[in-house]
Amino acid sequence: MLRSRDLPWLLLPMACTEPVAGFSGGAGTSAAQDTGPGPVSSSGGDSGATSEGGSTAASAGDGPKFDLAGDNPCADAPEGIVCVGTDAVTCDADGEMQGSVSCAPGVCESGVGCAACVEGQVTCVADRFLACDASVQPAVWIEVEVCDPAAGEGCDLGAGGCAVLEPVGGTQPTGVYYKFADFAGAGDGYLGGYDVDGHGDRLYVRRHSGEVDVYQITLLDSDGDGALEPNQHPDNPDHPGEIEQRVLQLDQTLAIEGGGPTSASELYVDDARVVIGGFELTQNSLMGAAPSVISTAPAWLSGPRFEQIGYDDLGGLWYASNQQHRRVLQYDPATDRWGIAFEYPALAGDHMDGLEVVRDPDDATVYVYVSDMTSDFIGQYRFDPVDGWVQQNVFAYDGGVGVPVEGLGFGPLNHFWATGAAAEVDGVPSGEVRLYELGGGTIASYTEPAG
């Protein structure tokens, strides 16, 4: 995610309530009304304020704001609310724009504002196939079918309901990324560990059970040209030049609860909490509350434990996976159940060992990134409102297979950060635990602001 905040010196635990959210798709039929707050919809491209089934007028102070392309949308519009894609724009009687709000992952209705869904929409959330019931006001999501993930079933918009899922996409690379830093052990300031995530200019690495090291990443103008250039690389045609130096400095070590083995738990960090996987999703607060469990790994999950985790902060949706299958799970907070979102093909590695969720900073599209342990590919997926889960890209490391992936996170410099153990260094058996930075190239167009 795009996250920015300096962490306080002490980690204190917290409980929090997960928002309800989801996505929307094409035409469908109605069934019995969903008894819980229904998920909101998504255009598959924008993301923003969450709606729980009702509608709300746009106002200048509501929800995240995104720049609207083109001329003033109110110039030829009547007074009230008009829709520009999934943005609800408030126009005054003089044709001036008074404010805007992104309805995504919901929808915009002219004259009304943000709403959960519109007639004819269907969506998938975890193990449920949902349809929009517009016969009531406000429109609500209703449950049409519940899938059986233990049998390999998932919600499939293309099939119009539940189906045994097949891998989505191929293995042919469509883009590239580069390695910018490689911290190899204590000599480079890295104390070790596998589970990793980033927030702002900080990296969080679980070195031991119950402890997370917090490092500050600093980029230096090592080429002396007066500019900080995180994507500068000798092989990057968009930003050619020598790689600028990164400095890794230990800031503090936090005490946390939860998690399984240090190579099979993974972290998620935002400005309020550190969440760790394992047999449960356990959140440790930065605000003073006690640790709490968000969800327990379902019995049908091999393991059963969450070895990789990610979070869509706008949709309020958790994702998880483990090395037993190349499949991504999604959590439905309305039912406290997990379902299979999608499966992906073998990316030339032994097994799955990387998962991250990153929102495009320009159009707010939410992408799920996956990686095998021993290959140089990163797969990119998004939820399409008509086709369901689709593969957007397969990115390949420009330089050959690197250190095996044991942990994958995102954060400092808008880059991915991975951990792994090198089997050998310069032909010599090693086993040394390393931390390395990946990004730039074509993958940067989805993770970094334009310009």
Q: How confident is the model at residue 381 (pLDDT cuts 50, 70, 90)?
A: very high
pLDDT in tens, 229-258: 999 999 999 999 999 999 999 999 999 999
Q: What is the DSSP letter of 332?
A: E
Write out the DSSP string of 106-136.
Answer: SEEETTTEEES--TT-EEEETTEEEEEETTS
- Judge whether 56 and 40 are in contact, CB under 8 Å: no
Question: Radius of gyration (Cα) for the chain, nearest Å?
Answer: 22
What CATH class is the domain 175-447? mainly beta
- Give dist(CA 38, CA 35) in Å, integer: 8
pLDDT in tens, 174-225: 999 999 999 987 788 999 998 999 999 999 999 888 999 999 999 999 999 9
Torsion angles phi and psi, residue 442, rounded to 5? -75, -20
Pairing of strands 175-184, 388-397: parallel
Structure tokens that stand for 133 in this block: 């019931």
- Judge whether 232 and 223 are in contact, CB under 8 Å: yes
Q: How confident is the model at residue 355 (pLDDT cuts 50, 70, 90)?
A: very high
- Give dist(CA 224, CA 75) in Å, integer: 48
CA count, 13 A, side-chain hemisphere, 34: 27
Least confident span in 74-78, 86-90, 138-142, 432-436: 138-142
pLDDT in tens, 285-304: 988 889 999 999 999 998 77
pLDDT in tens, 93-121: 999 999 999 887 778 888 888 888 888 99
Report the pLDDT value the prediction gives residue 170, as an integer from 0 to 100: 96
Report the pLDDT value the prediction gives residue 321, as an integer from 0 to 100: 95
Q: Is the pLDDT of residue 13 over 80?
A: no
Q: Sheet containing 416-425: give its strands across.
A: 352-359, 366-372, 377-384, 388-397, 175-184, 428-439, 416-425, 407-410
Strand, coil or helix: 437: strand
The alpha carbon dihedral of 25, 30, 32, 36 has a sign of positive
Torsion angles phi and psi, residue 217, rounded to 5? -105, 125
Alpha helices in 311-407 (DSSP H): none
Report the pLDDT value the prediction gives residue 402, as an integer from 0 to 100: 65
- Give dist(CA 305, CA 441) in Å, integer: 34
Report the pLDDT value the prediction gives residue 423, as an integer from 0 to 100: 59
Report the pLDDT value the prediction gives residue 151, as an integer from 0 to 100: 96
- Give dist(CA 329, CA 318) in Å, integer: 8
- Give dist(CA 41, CA 108) in Å, integer: 10
Q: Is the pLDDT of residue 39 over 80?
A: no
140 to 51, 115, 161: CA distances (angstroms): 11, 9, 18
Query: How far is the first Cα of the chain from the last one, in angstroms, to the nearest whole number?
Result: 19
pLDDT in tens, 415-438: 999 998 765 555 544 567 889 999
Work out the mean pLDDT of the chain and round it to a whole number: 82
Torsion angles phi and psi, residue 88, rounded to 5? -95, 120
Q: Is the pLDDT of residue 307 over 60?
A: yes
Structure tokens that stand for 39 in this block: 């998920």
Which of 3-7, 372-376, 396-400 has the highest mean predicted lDDT (pLDDT)?
372-376
376 contacts: CB under 8 Å, gap ≥ 6: 348, 396, 397, 399, 400, 401, 402
Per-residue pLDDT averaged across 25-52, rounded? 35
pLDDT in tens, 131-178: 998 887 777 889 999 999 999 999 999 999 999 999 999 999 999 999
Q: Is the pLDDT of residue 1 over 60?
A: no
Share of the chain above pLDDT 90, in %: 60
- Match 């390999």 to its residue by tokens: 152
